[in-house]
Amino acid sequence: MNLVWSGFYSPAMVSEMVLEQADPSDHEALMRAVKEEFVQKREEESEWPAVTDCDTLDRAFEELNRAGIVALHNAGFTQAEGLEEVHEEYVKRGGLQGGVQGYCFYHGEDVERAVEGGGLFLAFGSSHGDDPGGLLIGARVRDALRAAGLTVEWNATMDKRLWVQPLVWRRRE
């Protein structure tokens, strides 16, 4: 269950999301499965290193946010929803007048891929909406991730997202 292993949701939230889409006759079995999955995750967490790749990613995002780049975790489920969340945060921070220069984020589909071992893709762009500015933001995000200790692949164009790989997805609740 990727929802459990993502580290973004409580047991109650996962149960609610799972039950919304399930046949009522399956509810009891699903609730049991969610509970067992959280137990297994907590047991494995005790064996994780003190600092995980997700902790490192968090630190890099904190630095990017301080530097005027809206850096969002688990922003929506798709690229379009992620862009909507970026826009909301951009407005909340005062836009260009608030010092927001650009953005980076990953969304729910990206989390699923990362949980399954496929690395993490990050979208990025400029607050001005221009490609040269977007490339500068992409480079700043790449550099911040690398400075934090993560491996990043990118072809330095706007047509490819940044790819953090390898990445072992271990996010504590």
* Pure H helices in 46-92: 53-66, 79-92
CB proximity list for 133: less than 8 A, separation 6 or greater? 101, 102, 125, 126, 127
Least confident of 24-38, 39-53, 126-140: 24-38
Contact 143, 135 (CB under 8 A): no
Q: Are 20 and 96 part of one and the same domain?
A: no
What mean pLDDT do residues 148-168 have? 97
Number of structural domains (the chain) is 2
Question: Has residue 48 got a pLDDT over 90?
Answer: yes
* 169 within a domain of the structure (yes/no): no
What mean pLDDT do residues 20-35 have? 82
Domain holding 157, by residue range, is: 53-164
